Structure 1
């Protein structure tokens, strides 16, 4: 397993940590939406992309002969727990941020959406687990 295959996923995790752990006064005001909050959408996108990047890293890594159900399940659980960890960190830091269960749910929904997109990507076999040649 070479770290270079996972650089995008790791870099994106750093972007998520920086963006979600910045002090509240530093962040620009979010637009107000009626049905879906902008904040929830951003959380879903961040964590959906995180899951896709992690699965893509497994897909590209020559040390991983094929992406299995175990890789997919483990990646999804990692993203869910990472999302929960971010919320716990926000709650434990006194920087004007607070832990929000709705954000944790949005993070998880993003993971589910990322998972759905992973299975829709055309570059893999119909089974969804084999690498294409």
Structure 2
């Protein structure tokens, strides 16, 4: 089992990065410049979770004991979406000046859709 975990090290490491960045106290965060069409925070959420899905799928692809099927891709997609929702719930419950934001959860999910789209477009001869 320990040998197989190497395939998922990037995805697990990125999950830790997401947790650290999203659960920092609000005072530790830089001010959010607001653009007219999208906020930096929204874009950051989408990128974080899109990359999370790509790294998880890449781990599945590299693991020789896993057959990467549409079903597994779907499970991975919803796992990362639920992880994004869980992070928002944690933000609201930890009392560190952060709050659960349904719009952030939506941005997390949009990022997963972008990650899925990139996965579909990139050839996997890695």
TM-score by shorter chain over 0.5:
yes
Give the paired residue count.
124
CA RMSD of aligned residues (A): 1.1
Instruction: Provide the residue aligned with 2:100 in structure 1.
Output: 99
Instruction: Provide the residue aligned with 1:81 in structure 2.
Output: 82
Listed as ranges, the gaps of 5+ residues in structure 1 are 125-131
The alpha-carbon deviation at position 123 of structure 1 amounts to 2.3
The alpha-carbon deviation at position 32 of structure 1 amounts to 1.5
3-state SS in 1 of match to 2:22: helix
Instruction: Provide the residue aligned with 2:63 in structure 1.
Output: 61
Q: Comparing both structures, which one devotes a greater share of its residues to helix?
A: 2
Structure-2 separation of matches of 1:91 and 1:51: 23
TM-score, with normalisation over the residues of structure 1?
A: 0.90
Structure-1 separation of matches of 2:124 and 2:71: 20
TM-score, with normalisation over the residues of structure 2?
A: 0.95
3-state SS in 1 of match to 2:38: coil
Task: Note the 1:1-133 alignment, pairs <5 A.
Answer: 2-64=4-66, 66-123=67-124
Q: Deviations over 1:43-67 (max 9, x none)?
A: 0000000000000000000111x31
3-state SS in 2 of match to 1:44: helix
Structure-2 separation of matches of 1:119 and 1:107: 19
Q: Which stretches of structure 1, 4 residues or more, deviate above 4 A after TM superposition? A: none
